[in-house]
Amino acid sequence: MLLVNIDHSNILKIFGDVKNEKVCFKSIPIFFKDELETRKIIETLEEKLKNSNSIQDHYVLLLYWLLRRNGIRDFSYKNVERLGKSKPYSQNEVLIDKNVDPQKQHIIPFSKLRDVLGEEDLKRTSKHPANNIGNITYISKNLNNYETGLGDEFINLEDEPKENKLAHFLEGEEIENQYKYLIDQFSKSEDSKNKGKLKDEYEKFCSLRRKEIIKGFGEWLNELDKLVFQDLNISSFENLTDESIKIVATDPMLEDTNKKGKKTDEKEFFNELQKNKNEKIISAFREIYEKFKSENRIEWGQGGFKPIFYLNDKKVNDLFRFHSNAILQVNFGKMKKFSIENVSIKIKEWFENRGIKFTSNNIPKIDFEKILPHFDSFKELLFELSQYK
């Protein structure tokens, strides 16, 4: 959403209309399915990143998290040792995270660009091509320091491991050659004719690096898409229909976080379940319900019931939720409390052996139709759980 830069007022309107944060977050991909399609985002990024000319631009801020995802480290400390300085850290090049106070670094040093561009009043905070995202990366505060670090010196890419060049989007023959060429040309910048040429060559370098950054954002988005698709049980944004928002908004699993809604009771639940034409599902739910009811181990929520289990004499609910629209919800995160007997592993394997994958702590939806062919086995698993103390 930040890459698309959707108007915040539109998002706030959704929250106001839906009035349920869980429903709202599930609804956002549906409301903005056209804007959030990765292919379309990537198509618009080239122009947006070309105009990302401020170190406070939100694309530059997003670049930090993309670089963190890549596992960036400081540039080689050989760069500062050649300047006669000690290494900024006693260990090898540090991983860039909050512990080293990350700072933005101009790959082509800002002071050298200011001289070439002939704009003495140009500032680091200015909106200017000197501050374009193609020229920005992140390094530690110590390496970015004039006294202990690089100051306004170029780095030597030949000192960099391939994986760190890749992480900083500086790997590849074309971009590395362009960077080395710029270093050489900046040494001749006193020539006024050369200054004009340097502007073009600098923009070429930024353009090459922006292309790599866009690829990086694309890979990241594809990973995020998979998580969204799994959550919504679709294969692509094209599978979202106009009815999708209605389905999400009426999903009984999305309970009111304020717990102010009316809880379902037995009569209401089974009346609603009767609308399901599959008598086998109705019979299965009834069998599970009666078993736990006989032991006074049923808890009702909005839209469904939750069998109660015990571990070390402590009540553990919400492991499973049975909903009146014939949906089963599994809270695998809470099942980990049973890890003392490896029960959580056993349950995970039970589902995965039947083609139902756990992609996070929770499975939002399992159509009970998928459980029916294995109901006897599922029932045994459930009743076995009820025996743990």
pLDDT tens per residue across span 63-115: 999 999 999 999 999 999 999 999 999 889 999 999 999 999 999 999 888 87
Asked if 228 and 258 sit in the same domain, the reply is no
Q: Is residue 239 part of a domain?
A: no
Asked if 91 and 201 sit in the same domain, the reply is yes
Q: Is residue 241 part of a domain?
A: no
Sign, Cα dihedral of 12, 13, 14, 16: positive
Domain count along the chain: 2
Asked if 306 and 181 sit in the same domain, the reply is no
pLDDT at 364: 54
Q: Is residue 246 part of a domain?
A: no
Asked if 209 and 177 sit in the same domain, the reply is yes
- pTM of the entire structure? 0.60
Q: Is residue 52 part of a domain?
A: yes
More confident residue, 167 or 190: 167
Asked if 137 and 205 sit in the same domain, the reply is yes
Q: Is residue 139 part of a domain?
A: yes
Asked if 203 and 321 sit in the same domain, the reply is no
Asked if 293 and 149 sit in the same domain, the reply is no
Q: What is the pLDDT of residues 191-204, one digit of tens each?
A: 555 677 888 899 99
Asked if 82 and 187 sit in the same domain, the reply is yes
Q: What is the pLDDT of residues 113-165, one digit of tens each?
A: 887 776 666 777 778 888 999 999 999 999 999 888 998 899 999 999 999 99
Q: Is residue 2 part of a domain?
A: no
Q: Is residue 248 part of a domain?
A: no
Asked if 258 and 216 sit in the same domain, the reply is no
Pick from 167, 198, 232: which residue ends a domain?
232
Segments forming the whole domain that contains residue 139: 8-232
Closest CA to 50 of 207, 200, 216, 214: 207
Q: Is residue 245 part of a domain?
A: no
pLDDT at 36: 66
Q: In this structure, are residues 264 and 305 in contact, taking their beta carbons and an 8 Å threshold?
A: yes
Pick from 180, 201, 232: which residue ends a domain?
232
Q: What is the pLDDT of residues 326-353, one digit of tens each?
A: 888 887 666 655 554 566 677 778 888 8
Asked if 47 and 168 sit in the same domain, the reply is yes
Long-range contacts of 66-70 (CB under 8 A, 24+ apart): 66/213, 66/216, 66/217, 66/220, 67/96, 67/137, 67/138, 67/167, 67/168, 68/96, 68/97, 69/220, 70/166, 70/167, 70/168, 70/216
Asked if 73 and 113 sit in the same domain, the reply is yes
Asked if 35 and 167 sit in the same domain, the reply is yes
Pick from 182, 198, 232: which residue ends a domain?
232
